[in-house]
Amino acid sequence: MIALTAAEIAHITNGQLTADPGIVPTSVITDSREATAGSLYVAKPGEHADGHSFVGAAFDGGAVLALTERIVEDVDGRPFPAVVVQDAVLAMGAIAAEAVRRIRADREARGEALTVIGITGSAGKTTTKDLLAGILSAEGKTVAPKGSFNGEIGVPLTVFQADLDTRFLVIEMGATGIGHIRYLADMVEPEIGVVLGVGTAHAGEFGGIENIALTKGELLEKLPAEGTAIINIDDARVAAMRSRSSAPVLGFTAGNAAPVGRTVEARNVVVDDAGHPGFDLVFPGGAPAVHVQSKLIGSHHVTNLLAAAGAAWAAGVPAERIAASLSTQQAASRWRMERTERPDGVTIINDAYNANPESMRAALRTLADLGQGRRTWAVLGAMLELGEDSIREHAAVGTQIVRLNIDRLVVVGREARPLYISAIQEGSWGSECSFTETAEEAYELLQAELRPGDLVLFKSSNGVGLRHLGDRIALHPLADPRGLSNAEAGSNEGNELL
């Protein structure tokens, strides 16, 4: 975090200062349990708790300043050192915007650059962010979000990790409504913007897929004329955003669209027996193709690999170094096609960090491809926030499962029941298709029926929590086929993140 005094923070946020104006926080936190010496604690309102109730705990942990929406007093009736603002979350954004401005200005004064790259899309943001950060970290100091920090709180927290030595700042941008991406883009002012795709995730909140497209394109509208817009021309709604940017456009395609203007292409795409995609990567300008052999699992990652390659190329990274980095990187964030080989021969693929119709279809195709010669299981929960399309989209997944010849389907939770009904109607019944009300029931079923050699996919929206069921199954194998007990079989040290 760059150095800002309490007085400067109060000025930036139009806040009331109830502290020594010379206090200089060294980090920013929103969870009092993460407080360390020098922290600025942001007391934001939450769904289940009010951060103001934990101001004292934050100071006990070492915080030196709080950002609050009201004066909070200690047990002796003295106000905690704070900047009191009208809206703590908006104040975080204002501080982050000033931090980016100061870092950029300081580096320009030294003849150096800060390149800010924004990434948005209905699916693949976190994987693309991780890939791009992996490439750029070899070129200069790079700051990128932890996990999926991509909203009005996560983006400022990412910015606060940057300092005057930061060369690249990678920002993941999520939204649940029109104007959200514009707000984030105004905050960090990216030079490069990446739009991956427009899907039906959060369609209910947005009021339809066209509003999702409208929102994702806000990133391109905020790019400067000297910047670069990186767009997925395989997605018709994204390709149509070309006219919304004053910046030059760099398209990318996995071979599904005719190149238009400057384009990054994946040619000769082949997925090996382990599910890893490889392809020849072609950049504009007629340079020779470079080969990428990814360690990620699933052909759908070609889009993410191309997007990261295009953004890195726009940032000035040579093609050979881009390809080399993409060929060595494994999944950096949890629950994204995360593969575990259990000691008893069962393979778990935990892709349950998030789910929408597009990512669900991609994961199921990967399960079918990898499951040749094995018994395949799809353990699925609800795709949330689909609005009036929810029943139809879940039913479509049930139909797909049967047509892909997935051997066993376990549907967990009432919200996903239309998926179960659809699979039965399509021709899957009896022991092939099971419905459980709870994850605990699903756990008992799986523990009773999994056998060595089985391949099991877990997939649901984050709020359903099937990622935790996937972890539990991955760490609790049956007795080893050679007769060893679970304890004797040892810990799951062979966990492979792909």
Q: Judge whether residue 297 has pLDDT over 50.
A: yes
Closest CA to 330 of 85, 160, 482, 496: 496
171, 125 in Cβ contact below 8 A?
Answer: no
Closest CA to 166 of 124, 189, 136, 123: 136
Q: Judge whether residue 493 has pLDDT over 50.
A: no
In whole angstroms, give the CA distance from residue 97 to residue 91: 10
In whole angstroms, give the CA distance from residue 52 to residue 173: 27
CA dihedral defined by 331, 333, 338, 340, rounded to 10 degrees?
Answer: 100
In whole angstroms, give the CA distance from residue 269 to residue 4: 49
pLDDT at 335: 83
SS (H, E, C) 171-202: EECCCCCCCHHHHHHHHHCCCEEEECCCCCCC
Closest CA to 18 of 88, 81, 85: 81
Mean predicted confidence (pLDDT) in 157-171: 98
pLDDT at 287: 86
Q: How many CA atoms lie within 13 A of 461 on its CB side?
A: 18
Closest CA to 13 of 81, 67, 70: 67
Tokens of 338: 């995360």
Q: Which of 81-90, 187-196, 216-225, 331-340 has the lowest mean pLDDT?
A: 331-340
The DSSP-derived string for 406-430 is -SEEEEESGGGHHHHHHHHHHT--G
Q: What is the pLDDT confidence band of residue 325, given thresholds at 50, 70 and 90? A: very high
Is residue 35 within a helix (H) or strand (E), and if so which, with residue range? none
Angle at 127 between CA 122 and CA 128, to 5 degrees: 80
Q: Judge whether residue 313 has pLDDT over 70.
A: yes
Q: Judge whether residue 498 has pLDDT over 60.
A: no
In terms of CATH, what superfamily is 90-326?
Mur-like, catalytic domain (3.40.1190.10)
Q: Judge whether residue 203 has pLDDT over 80.
A: no
- CATH 3.90.190.20 in the chain, residues? 338-497
pLDDT at 147: 76
Angle at 224 between CA 218 and CA 227, to 5 degrees: 100
Q: Who wins on pLDDT, 354 or 411?
A: 411
Per the listing, tokens 């340079």 go with: 287
pLDDT at 334: 82
Q: What is the pLDDT confidence band of residue 333, given thresholds at 50, 70 and 90? A: confident
In whole angstroms, give the CA distance from residue 168 to residue 172: 13
Closest CA to 408 of 437, 438, 367, 440: 367
194, 133 in Cβ contact below 8 A?
Answer: no
pLDDT at 192: 98
pLDDT tens readout for residues 50-59: 999 999 999 9
Interaxial angle between packed helices 209-216 and 180-188, expressed in degrees from 0 to 180 and rounded to the nearest 10: 10
Q: Judge whether residue 199 has pLDDT over 90.
A: no
Amino acid sitting at position 245: S
Residue 292, number of CB atoms within 10 A of its CB: 22
Question: In angstroms, how far is the first alpha carbon of the chain from the final one?
Answer: 32
The pTM of the whole model exceeds 0.85: no
Q: What is the pLDDT confidence band of residue 481, given thresholds at 50, 70 and 90? A: very low
Rg (CA), the chain: 24
Domain 338-497 top-level CATH class:
alpha beta
395, 415 in Cβ contact below 8 A?
Answer: no
pLDDT at 201: 60
Domain 6-86 top-level CATH class:
alpha beta
CA dihedral defined by 96, 102, 107, 110, rounded to 10 degrees?
Answer: -170
Q: Judge whether residue 496 has pLDDT over 60.
A: no
Backbone angles phi, psi at 350, to 5 degrees: -100, 100
User: What distances in angstroms separate CA 476 from CA 374, 388, 445, one per listed residue?
Assistant: 20, 38, 13
337, 157 in Cβ contact below 8 A?
Answer: no
- CATH 3.40.1190.10 in the chain, residues? 90-326
- CATH 3.40.1390.10 in the chain, residues? 6-86
User: Which letter, b or e, does each residue of 415-449 get, where b requires 16 or more Cβ atoms within 10 Å of its Cβ?
Assistant: bbbbbbbbbbebebeeeebbbbeebeebbebbeee
pLDDT tens readout for residues 418-462: 999 999 998 877 779 999 999 999 999 999 999 999 999 999 988
The strand pair at 496-497 and 338-341 is best described as antiparallel
Q: How many CA atoms lie within 13 A of 458 on its CB side?
A: 29
126, 105 in Cβ contact below 8 A?
Answer: no
In the three-class reduction of DSSP (H, G, I as helix; E, B as strand; rest coil), residue 215 is classed as: helix
Tokens of 362: 């991609």
In whole angstroms, give the CA distance from residue 338 to residue 328: 16
